């Protein structure tokens, strides 16, 4: 597996004690994109957090899904029980679930090294006059520009209207 593209978006307006420094997307083998990785400075140094979603559970009263940190139901307003969240192996409350993550330490290291290399390069580019972030380069359909050409090539192979046989009248 090769990381063929890394796009970085620096967090511009950071609070003094904020740990989040940027977001990124990576492309694997010019075929698969993973978005919303986070670049964070932790107590033990820099790390790349994988994309995740907030865990939810259902209100006992109405069945509506609410975030585990919520104290009241967003649908009926009923009080939610405290301590609804599970715990991870170290005993910390588990509030998020990874959407995508590496299975092996070597894969995590590959991603971490590629992202951090590009992050520090992007920080240097951002200091130059006329700097423009390329993370947000989008075409009219909302896809990143670098993916548009590949998607167009793929779609050409699936154009069923041109190749479909004529229907009998």
- Give CA torsion, residues 31, 33, 39, 42, to 10 deg: -90
Q: What would the CATH number be for the domain defined by 1-51+99-150?
A: 3.30.1120.40
Query: For residue 142, what pLDDT band results from cuts at 50, 70 and 90?
Result: low
Enumerate the domain spans of the chain: 1-51+99-150, 53-97
Angstrom distance (rounded) from CA 119 to CA 12: 13
What per-residue confidence (pLDDT) applies to 66?
94
Say what the pLDDT of residue 167 is.
Answer: 46
Task: Decide which of 17 and 141 is more confident.
Answer: 17
pTM of the full structure: 0.69
Q: What percent of the chain has pLDDT over 90?
A: 59
- Mean per-residue pLDDT over the chain, rounded: 83
Report pLDDT for 134. Answer: 79
Q: Which residues pair with 72 in a beta bridge?
A: 79
Tokens of 70: 């919520």
| pLDDT, average across residues 112-130 | 95
Express each pLDDT in 47-93 by its tens digit. 999 999 999 999 999 999 999 999 999 999 999 988 888 888 888 88
How far apart CA 14 and CA 65 sit, in angstroms, is 31
Residue 121 in this model has a pLDDT that exceeds 60: yes
Q: Where is pLDDT greater, at 162 or 35? A: 35
**Taking 50 as the threshold, does the pLDDT of residue 153 lie above it?**
no
């Amino acid at each position: 597996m090769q990381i063929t593209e890394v796009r970085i978006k620096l967090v511009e307006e950071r609070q003094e004690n904020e740990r989040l420094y940027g977001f990124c997307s990576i492309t694997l083998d010019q075929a698969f994109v993973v978005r919303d990785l986070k670049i964070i400075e932790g107590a033990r140094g820099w790390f790349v957090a994988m994309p995740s979603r907030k865990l939810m559970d259902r209100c006992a009263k109405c069945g509506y899904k609410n975030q585990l940190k919520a104290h009241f139901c967003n649908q009926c307003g009923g009080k939610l029980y405290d301590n609804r969240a599970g715990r991870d192996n170290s005993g910390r409350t588990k509030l998020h679930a990874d959407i995508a993550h590496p299975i092996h330490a070597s894969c995590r290291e590959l991603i971490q090294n590629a992202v951090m290399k590009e992050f520090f390069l992007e920080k240097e580019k951002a200091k130059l006059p006329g700097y423009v972030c390329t993370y947000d380069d989008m075409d009219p359909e909302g896809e990143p520009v670098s993916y548009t050409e590949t998607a167009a090539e793929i779609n050409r192979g699936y154009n069923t209207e041109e190749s479909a046989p004529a229907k009998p009248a």
